[in-house]
């Protein structure tokens, strides 16, 4: 049986740190609590760093809870690989006050293969990446992966969040939603200003290799990144945010940010034009949805639900990755009230689902090398 020691837990924390999070904020703060008696389990307590939340863009903490769920799932996968079983002991609070208690048990044998999801490993965690470059439609791998994810979600939904489903959204609905949601992001200077805080343009700054969205990941050319690094000073951010909301588009800095961060839809049009035109075939677009009719017993259970959804989201992205497919995430579609309800209407009328999207992403095969996103160094396991 594997001994649950601080150095081993530090290794598992390092694997879990590859988890995805909105704007690469990495909000998790895990701490190891060794077993106090031979009969009690070792524990890991995961709290939130309030400085790593997005109070403006994510006011209900949904993306925060999803990211925490992704972390819990990543940790669980890495732990299972070394024969440690992880279960959630409790979830308390929500948003920046969220606290998750994980109970760890060393198993006498390696766990058997799951019949729902592939047995993911730390290699899968290291390999997965979001790709903001041009993706290519890949019909067969998508069909296989989508069917497998649908099956696994339907079965695991019983145990986690009932009504969780993965649904494909037609290209025309995706395109119109993306255009509208992008406009929504521009017209809210405070959302845009908050996003600017998480952009990393200056390669010499420590933060460039630790968190946020780097110029490399956003595929911004070096020369432009150097200009942007000077402009994206904290004191100028409200001004830049104001410029976008006032639609003063000719400013080159703002324009290039639009093209990369909030993504002008023309790039999507290029990479996703209908097959009948000269362009490449459109990408597949998916939403992870939750039941809109499920009554939450309170704020705590909603956080718990969203943590489970985050775990399912990570498994889905890992499954797609096993089929050599990457995702390009567009949370603005589920954040913008009009596009969220347009997608909900589609779910109701075409799928009979009373559901809300919690995550929205395009899926395809990478066509260029994907720069690796940065991560903070892992903290010591005791505090």
Ligand X SMILES: Cc1cc2nc3c(=O)[nH]c(=O)nc-3n(C[C@H](O)[C@H](O)[C@H](O)COP(=O)(O)O)c2cc1C
The site for ligand X (CB under 6 A) is made up of: 20-24, 63, 66-67, 70, 129-130, 132, 213, 329-332, 373
Nearer to ligand X, 22 or 303 (CB): 22
Closest contact distance (angstroms) between CB of 23 and ligand X is: 6
Nearer to ligand X, 148 or 199 (CB): 199
**What are the CB-based long-range contacts (under 8 Å, 24+) for 248-254?**
253/227, 253/228
Nearer to ligand X, 130 or 294 (CB): 130
Q: Are 21 and 211 in contact (CB under 8 A)?
A: no
**Per-residue tokens: 328:** 């390009």
Residue nearest to ligand X (CB): 20
Q: Are 327 and 129 in contact (CB under 8 A)?
A: no
Neighbouring-strand partners of residue 42: 104
Nearer to ligand X, 69 or 280 (CB): 69
Nearer to ligand X, 32 or 374 (CB): 374
What CA–CA distance (Å, rounded) separates 382 from 7?
Answer: 10
Nearer to ligand X, 189 or 213 (CB): 213
Nearer to ligand X, 2 or 365 (CB): 365
Nearer to ligand X, 32 or 75 (CB): 75
Nearer to ligand X, 81 or 306 (CB): 306
Q: Parallel, antiparallel, or unpaired for β 165-168 and 284-291?
A: antiparallel
- The contacts of residue 356 (CB under 8 Å, 6+ apart) are 289, 290, 292, 334, 340, 344
> What are φ and ψ of residue 102, in 5° steps?
-105, 135
Closest contact distance (angstroms) between CB of 313 and ligand X is: 7
Q: Are 320 and 136 in contact (CB under 8 A)?
A: no
**DSSP secondary structure of 162-226:** TT-EEEE--HHHHHHHHHHHHHHHHH-HHHHHHHHHTEE--TTSGGGGTSSEEHHHHT--HHHHH
What CA–CA distance (Å, rounded) separates 286 from 170?
Answer: 9
What CA–CA distance (Å, rounded) separates 318 from 311?
Answer: 11
What CA–CA distance (Å, rounded) separates 295 from 165?
Answer: 17
- What stretches of 15-108 adopt beta strand conformation (E)? 28-33, 42-48, 84-92, 99-106
CA atoms lying within 13 Å on the CB side of residue 178:
26
Max Cα–Cα distance, the chain, nearest Å: 68
Nearer to ligand X, 70 or 86 (CB): 70
Closest contact distance (angstroms) between CB of 310 and ligand X is: 7
Q: Are 44 and 74 in contact (CB under 8 A)?
A: no
């Amino acid at each position: 049986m594997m001994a649950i020691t601080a150095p081993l837990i530090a290794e598992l924390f390092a694997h879990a740190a590859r988890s995805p999070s909105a704007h690469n904020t990495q909000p998790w703060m895990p701490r190891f609590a060794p077993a106090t008696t031979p009969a009690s389990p070792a524990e890991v307590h995961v709290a939130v760093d309030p400085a790593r939340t997005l109070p403006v863009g994510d006011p209900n903490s949904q993306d925060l809870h999803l990211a925490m769920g992704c972390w819990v799932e990543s940790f669980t996968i890495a732990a299972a690989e070394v024969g440690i079983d992880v279960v959630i002991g409790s979830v308390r609070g929500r948003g920046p006050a969220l606290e998750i208690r994980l109970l760890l048990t060393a198993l006498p044998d390696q766990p058997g293969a799951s019949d729902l999801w592939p047995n993911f490993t730390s290699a899968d965690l290291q390999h997965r990446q979001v790709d903001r470059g041009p993706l290519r439609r890949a019909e067969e791998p998508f069909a296989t992966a989508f069917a497998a994810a649908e099956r696994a979600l339907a079965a695991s939904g019983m145990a986690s969040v009932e009504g969780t489903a993965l649904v494909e959204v037609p290209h025309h609905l995706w395109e119109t939603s993306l255009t509208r949601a992008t406009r929504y992001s521009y017209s809210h200077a405070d959302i845009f200003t908050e996003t600017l805080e998480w952009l990393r343009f200056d390669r010499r700054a420590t933060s460039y290799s630790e968190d946020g969205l780097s110029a490399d990941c956003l595929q911004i050319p070096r020369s432009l990144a150097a200009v942007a690094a000077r402009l994206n000073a904290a004191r100028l951010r409200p001004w830049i945010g104001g410029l976008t909301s006032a639609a003063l588009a000719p400013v080159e800095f703002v324009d290039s940010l639009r093209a990369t961060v909030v993504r002008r839809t023309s790039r999507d049009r290029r990479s996703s034009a209908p097959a009948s035109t000269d362009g490449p075939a459109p990408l597949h677009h998916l939403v992870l949805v939750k039941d809109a009719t499920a009554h939450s017993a309170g704020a705590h259970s909603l956080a718990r639900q969203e943590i489970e959804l985050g775990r399912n989201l990570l498994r889905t992205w890992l499954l797609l990755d096993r089929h050599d497919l990457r995702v390009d995430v567009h949370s603005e579609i589920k954040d913008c009230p009009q596009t969220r309800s347009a997608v909900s209407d589609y779910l109701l009328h075409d799928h009979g689902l009373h559901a809300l999207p919690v995550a929205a992403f395009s899926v395809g095969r990478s066509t260029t090398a994907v720069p690796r996103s940065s991560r903070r160094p892992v903290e010591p396991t005791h505090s």
